[in-house]
Amino acid sequence: MQKRSGGTREKLLAAARECFAKKGFNSTTVEDIVESAGVARGTFYIYFANKEAIFKDIYELMQKELFAQVSSPHCGRIYRKIASANRGYLEKYQQFKDVHKVLTEVCNQNPDFFAEVKRLRYNFIEKIVNNITKGVEKGIYRKIDNPLLYAYALGGMVDNFANIWFVNGEPTGQKPFEMEEVVKCLSDIWYTALVPDDKSLRESEEC
């Protein structure tokens, strides 16, 4: 399906995201989307083949913005770099929490889409692996024999925590977590896992 730039396509994307958030993926129809966007049904098919296609575009946009947080050159003290990346990822995850809520529903009924999700998710893992490998080569991080394992463990920790916090709404019945305390907690774990015990890089400049 050919993509065209312009306001109509953006209105359809925004309307679809709103409808999916309110009604879920299965209960949302193309009619719901075009009515919310204020366009004719035929206009929808100029831009998208079906509602699966429009959700795929929404998901890919979200992934692009999340990936930018992992890829950004967070310069400065090593601990601040870790914290900056984690904060950026959490803030973007919160911004797209409605998409994450729908994602499980879509993946459960569409194996091909689930395979695409895993492929895109692995891009995150590869980026973390590259960052760890470079840190080891520069002597910033401890010697790590299996960077892929560390990437899955540390990246998965942040991603799963974000899902529990923003999508599941936990903890319930308790004082809500503050963003900065969450960033500190997760970044402390990253730092402890990666930085040698004999280094004090919280105060050293690395870029």
14 domain residue, yes or no: yes
Do residues 93 and 171 share a domain? Answer: yes
Do residues 169 and 72 share a domain? Answer: yes
Do residues 17 and 71 share a domain? Answer: no
Which one is predicted more confidently, 155 or 203? 155
Which one is predicted more confidently, 156 or 207? 156
The CATH code of the domain that includes 43 is: 1.10.10.60
Domain containing 73 equals: 52-201
Confidence of residue 6 (pLDDT cuts 50, 70, 90): low
Is a pLDDT exceeding 70 seen at residue 38? yes
207 domain residue, yes or no: no
Do residues 95 and 109 share a domain? Answer: yes
User: Letter for the amino acid at 22?
Assistant: K
The number of distinct structural domains making up the chain is 2
Question: pTM value?
Answer: 0.84
Do residues 155 and 57 share a domain? Answer: yes
Q: For residue 76, give the H/E element and its range.
A: strand 76-77
Q: Please, what is the angle between helix 97-109 and helix 111-137, to 10°?
A: 120
Identify the pLDDT of residue 2. Answer: 41
Q: Taking the mean position of all CA atoms in its chain, how far away is CA 91?
A: 9
In the DSSP assignment, the letter for residue 153 is H
Which of 132-170 are b and which e, b meaning 16 or more Cβ less than 10 Å from the residue's Cβ? beebbeeebbeebeebeebbbebbeebbebbbebbbeee
Do residues 129 and 59 share a domain? Answer: yes
Do residues 36 and 113 share a domain? Answer: no
Do residues 93 and 114 share a domain? Answer: yes
Taking the C-alpha atoms of residue 131 and residue 53, their distance in angstroms, rounded to an integer, is 33
pLDDT digit string, tens, across residues 132-142: 999 999 998 99
Angle subtended at Cα 191 by Cα 187 and Cα 196, rounded to the nearest 5 degrees: 175
